[in-house]
Amino acid sequence: MSTLRPGTAGATRACPHCKATILESASVCPACRGHLRYDEASIQREKTKVVPLQIEGTLSPPSGDNVFEYSMVLSIRDERGKEVNRQVIGVGALHPDDVRSFTLQVEMTEAGAAKSRRRH
Ligand SMILES: [Zn+2]
């Protein structure tokens, strides 16, 4: 959970369905896709949603009889390169002939009436 005040851009809460940490403003949980809000403001905010970054890749282990293990690691850095979040999203094993697909998606929506921190 962030320490940002409710109503502030970037404020978070726990999804009531899956307990993932999500934006307080989210109308749909990006983790479990459960619907959370139906008010007009969140419907309007949902219309501003864009996906400026999406990466997808499929892996299989190198050929041979060896079994491999994998860790999917996510890192978020700020404009100075400082890591603000690092998480292991999932781990597992790849046996010969196994295939796993990994998808990373960043969604952005306008934060409504929230003010920019940038000084003018
Ligand atoms: Zn959820």
Overall average pLDDT of the 34-39 stretch: 85
Whether 16 has a pLDDT exceeding 70, the answer reads: yes
Residue 86 domain-assigned?
yes
Domain count, the chain: 2
> Ligand 1 centre from 71 Cα, in Å?
23
Assess whether 56 and 103 both reside in one domain.
yes
Assess whether 60 and 33 both reside in one domain.
no
Assess whether 44 and 63 both reside in one domain.
no
Assess whether 95 and 75 both reside in one domain.
yes
Residue 25 domain-assigned?
yes
Assess whether 42 and 79 both reside in one domain.
no
64-103 in b/e burial notation, b at 16+ Cβ within 10 A?
A: eeeeeeeeeeeeeeeeeeeeeeeeeeeeeebeeeeeeeee
> Ligand 1 centre from 48 Cα, in Å?
21
Assess whether 41 and 58 both reside in one domain.
no
pLDDT at 64: 93
Instruction: Decide: 67 and 61 in contact? Cβ < 8 Å.
Output: yes
Residues near ligand 1 ion, CB 5 Å cutoff: 15, 17-18, 29, 31-32, 34
What is the pLDDT confidence band of residue 37, given thresholds at 50, 70 and 90?
A: confident
pLDDT digits (tens, 9 = 90+) for 43-74: 888 889 999 999 999 999 999 999 999 999 99
Instruction: Decide: 101 and 54 in contact? Cβ < 8 Å.
Output: no
Instruction: Decide: 14 and 20 in contact? Cβ < 8 Å.
Output: yes
Assess whether 3 and 21 both reside in one domain.
yes
C-alpha span between 59 and 73 (Å, rounded): 15
Is the whole model's pTM more than 0.85, yes or no? Answer: no
Q: Which residues contact 117 (CB under 8 A, 6 or more apart)?
A: none
Assess whether 5 and 44 both reside in one domain.
yes
What mean pLDDT, rounded, does the chain reach?
89
> Ligand 1 centre from 9 Cα, in Å?
19
Percent of the chain whose pLDDT exceeds 90: 65
Assess whether 38 and 2 both reside in one domain.
yes
pLDDT digits (tens, 9 = 90+) for 4-15: 777 788 899 999
Q: Where is 45: in which H helix or E strand?
A: helix 40-46
Domain holding 79, by residue range, is 52-108
Overall average pLDDT of the 14-19 stretch: 94
Assess whether 38 and 60 both reside in one domain.
no
C-alpha span between 118 and 54 (Å, rounded): 27
